[in-house]
Amino acid sequence: MVSAGIIKTEWVKEKLKKYGIVVVLFLMIVGLTLAEPNFIRRTNIFNILTQASIFGIMALGLTFVIISKGIDLSVGSILAFAGVVAASLAQSPLATNKYYPNLGELPLLIPILVALLIGLSCGAVSGFFIAKTKIPAFIATLGMMTIARGFALIYTNGRPISNLESMTVIGGRVFGVIPIPILVYAGAIVLSWVLLNNTKFGKNVYAIGGNATAAEVSGVDVDKNLIMIYAYSGLMAGLAAVVFAGRVGSVHPGAAQMYELTAIAATTIGGTSHSGGIGTIWGAFVGALVLAVMRNGFTLLGIDAYWQQVTEGAIIIVAVIIDMRKNARKD
């Protein structure tokens, strides 16, 4: 009987380690529903998912990076750079701006592809320097953060780009009853899950995060995969730029500041270990939902928005402490 009780206790502890964040999300939803019945309405649920879509998409790319024992501080600036260029290509022909040519309202596919290409290219450049020069990912992506933000400001001369009627199809329309940003987010989740769990690339990501030296000895091209990892993170930032431009209807070169920290928070809360080798796509999704539910709850309850930043920072610290203690037990 005693051994059975011990086994059951260990089983519960193991499940809590794995699904604890889901329990936290569930308790948040129950608590907010009791405090504010409007929270659970379909329109509000869609609003939460739509709010989570932008930093949630960025968190998917960052999951690959953090699993590989890296970090990417540039995704917010990449979003801004990709966003302003894509926005200029999608701008209404009635808009005028002397700082860049107005090519008229091009087919929507063109600004989308341009945003994705810019994001992928910026990420690949960061990955190249990390892989080939061995400089820390923190420094490489900090540099790219500044460079991408600078290019966004140069391209627009510091002015916002608006009149994005064609891009509002992505940010402001629905398919059936589901907002398009949610569908884009769902597609990004599926793509990321398949890449991480069903491809050689995904296995290499885990191997590099677990032990890069051992991975290289076993035949993994670490440099090539690092470039691909950061390129994918940039690609997700480019996709987030498309959703951002569609939702807001304009893009400022100073947009998305601190978004990288929110995306890192979502990934960390979802259980991705900064020690490398551990993390899941579903965890990044749940982490993004926790932040989105918290923000939405603060708004519904009339709590000062400034407290959101304080709470997010505290959550990150707690999540990292828990992760460190779990790793210490394994050692």
What is the CA angle 84-88-89, rounded to 5? Answer: 120
Domain count, the chain: 1
User: Quick one: tokens of 129?
Assistant: 């320097």
Does residue 103 belong to any structural domain of this protein? yes
Can you give the pTM of this predicted structure?
Answer: 0.91
Residue 159: which CATH number? 1.10.3470
Please check whether residue 6 lies inside any domain of the structure: no
Does 269 fall in a domain?
Answer: yes
Helix axes 42-67, 180-198, angle to 10 degrees: 30
Q: Is residue 10 part of a domain?
A: no
Looking at residue 106, its pLDDT comes to 72
The pLDDT assigned to 5 comes to 59
Q: Which residues of 168-186 are buried (b: 16+ CB within 10 A; e: fewer)?
A: bebbbeeeeeebbbbebbe
Q: Is residue 62 part of a domain?
A: yes
Q: Give the model's pLDDT for residue 102.
A: 53
From the list 206, 258, 270, the residue with the least C-alpha distance to 73 is: 258
Quick check: 28 and 297 in contact, CB under 8 A?
A: yes
pLDDT, position 143: 97
Cβ atoms < 10 Å from Cβ of 194: 12
Dihedral sign (CA 187, 188, 193, 199): positive
Q: Quick check: is 73 in a domain?
A: yes
Residue 174 pairs in a beta bridge with 179
Which residue segment(s) compose the domain that 255 sits in? Answer: 42-328
Residue 74 lies in a domain: yes
pLDDT score for 21: 83
Indicate whether 314 belongs to any domain.
Answer: yes
pLDDT per position in the chain (331 positions), as tens?
555 556 666 666 666 666 778 888 999 999 999 999 889 999 999 999 999 999 999 999 999 999 999 999 999 999 999 999 999 888 765 455 555 555 555 788 999 999 999 999 999 999 999 999 999 999 999 999 999 999 999 999 999 998 887 788 888 788 889 999 999 999 999 999 999 999 999 999 999 999 999 999 999 999 999 999 999 999 999 999 999 999 988 899 999 999 999 999 999 999 899 889 999 999 999 999 999 999 999 899 888 878 888 887 887 787 777 766 666 555 5
